[in-house]
Amino acid sequence: MLWTEIVLIALVAAVVIVALVWLAAGRIDRLHRRVDRAWASLHLQLTRRASLALLLAHSHVWEAEPSAAVTAAARAALQAPPGGREHSDLTAALRAAAVPAAAPTGAAPTGGERDALLYDMAAVWYRALVARRFLNDAVSLTRRLRSRRLVRFFHLAGGTPMPATCDIDDAPPPNLTIA
């Protein structure tokens, strides 16, 4: 084999590897941004859910005791990061307080403020469920790509920590008709 052939093969190999690395780096970067956006969206929906829980607790839906429990859990959730267990605690508090039956699905709220709050709560709860599913999808795709040898060898993920799924309890109370 001539030395020119060896150089040529090495060059082609180098170009292929650079192209693969460049493509993988682009995918990693885009998936990281997708995960960030998904966390932001989930945080927004969970914050809205906590605010609505606080409003419900102040609208005389429950007796004093469950009202206080929901208020405390909602305040904690408002301060918590989106993956925090405070959100699971709020879910549990709302389930224990037994959310009253809301207006039927799809029907716009007819009556007073309470119905409007329950209607909004159902809408926000659905969005929180959707946001968490989309987040976990993005996380699992990212983790799979980052476990590939090419990505690990060239440190394509840089210093970004490995994303983790969000596993809070968000099973809705039985009476809340979700979307």
Partner 1 sequence: MRIGLVCPYSFDVPGGVQFHIRDVAAELIARGHAVSVLAPAGDGTPLPPYVEPAGRTVGIRYNGSVARLNFGPLTARRARRWLAEGGFDILHVHEPITPSLAILSLMYAQCPVVATFHSSQTASKVLRAAYPLVRASLEKISGVIAVSEEARRTVMDHFGCDAVIIPNGVRVDQFAAAEPDPRWLGTSDAPVIAFLGRIDEPRKGLRVALEALPAVLAVRPGARLVVAGAGGADEALSRLGPLRGSVEVVGAITDTEKAGLLKGCSVYVAPQLGGESFGIVLVEAMAAGAPVVASRLAAFGSVLDDGALGLLFERGDAAALSRAVLATLDQADATRARVARASRAVRRYDWSVVADRVVAVYETVAGV
Binding residues for partner 1, rule: CB under 8 A, are: 23, 26-27, 30-31, 34, 37-38, 40-41, 44-45, 104-106, 123, 126-127, 130-131, 133-134, 136-138, 140-141, 144, 179
Positive or negative, the Cα torsion across 113, 67, 84, 81?
positive
DSSP 8-class letter at 80? S
Closest CA to 41 of 109, 118, 138, 110: 138
Give the shortest CB-79-to-partner 1 separation in angstroms: 21
C-alpha–C-alpha distance, residues 84 and 69, integer Å: 18
> What's CA 49's distance to the chain center, in Å?
13
Task: Give the nearer residue to partner 1 in terms of CB position, either 62 or 125.
Answer: 125
Contact 97, 62 (CB under 8 A): yes
Which amino acid, residue 178?
I
Task: Give the nearer residue to partner 1 in terms of CB position, either 96 or 123.
Answer: 123
Closest CA to 23 of 15, 34, 13: 15
Give the shortest CB-167-to-partner 1 separation in angstroms: 14
Give the shortest CB-125-to-partner 1 separation in angstroms: 10
Give the shortest CB-38-to-partner 1 separation in angstroms: 7
Give the shortest CB-33-to-partner 1 separation in angstroms: 10
Which amino acid, residue 38?
A
Task: Give the nearer residue to partner 1 in terms of CB position, either 20 or 162.
Answer: 20
